[in-house]
Homo-oligomer: A and B are copies of this chain.
């Protein structure tokens, strides 16, 4: 397996360079990438320092590093291009055609994408995060009526990370309800859950995976036993069927994937209120 150093470079946060670069690299599993994150390369001095790191990487790997960059300053870009690297400028080739199509000149200002250029939508995200924190683990079912999305699932099925992702990335006020023994005994979930069906999503997970997660949390406990995990999932599934809500499996899907599925279903009624001018 060849090893290759990769630099994600930007004049600001570098989130775009990293996201795009990573997506491109994920097409090449045969290569082992050493990824270096280089935000705020916004002076020629920093650019020169980076070219020195490129040289070190080239000598260490025996092959030039790959650079994914989103530079808006020509001077800085030229310095980086001059370094010993395979340079990929991610904005180049898009901004000009886009400017032509829009009939507007680009601002060429860096750091617009992840800055607070729209305080109202940024505030909405922060409030969504606070809402998710305050409504985790079924603490306040009486708040479900204020939620955009409600997740239901057994303990350790991935409710909390998914709620936080939905809040952080989509500004969705997300709450969750953990199905517990109490619900199984009653054979039903509280009225607040039923009332949320139009925005309710059920999370399921393979018993084997659940068992591993619970075992780490409470080793040797009945709670972590295979029988208990299988029973919990089985009983939960029965309740999901009665609720007749979408069921998502967190065993093989990441929180990003689960969240996109949810947003797709919640639909474009949701306009993603992220930071940044265009949002």
Contacts and interface: CB of A to CB of B under 8 A. Distances in A.
The number of times this chain is found in the oligomer is 2
Contacts of A40: 260-261, 264
A81 interface: no
B31 A276 contact: no
A107 to B, nearest CB: 5
Interface stretch (A122-130, A192-200, A237-245): A122-130
B25 A278 contact: yes
Interface stretch (A12-20, A142-150, A172-180, A219-227): A12-20
B278 A13 contact: no
A70 interface: yes
Q: How large is the interface on A (under 10, 10 to 19, 20 to 34, 35 or more residues)?
A: 35 or more
A88 B91 CA distance: 12
Nearest to A4: B102
A31 B115 contact: no
25 contacts: A6-B278, A14-B260, A16-B19, A18-B272, A22-B276, A23-B70, A27-B95, A27-B98, A27-B99, A27-B108, A29-B112, A33-B278, A35-B271, A35-B272, A35-B278, A35-B279, A40-B260, A40-B261, A40-B264, A86-B101, A93-B93, A115-B257, A126-B255, A129-B160, A254-B275
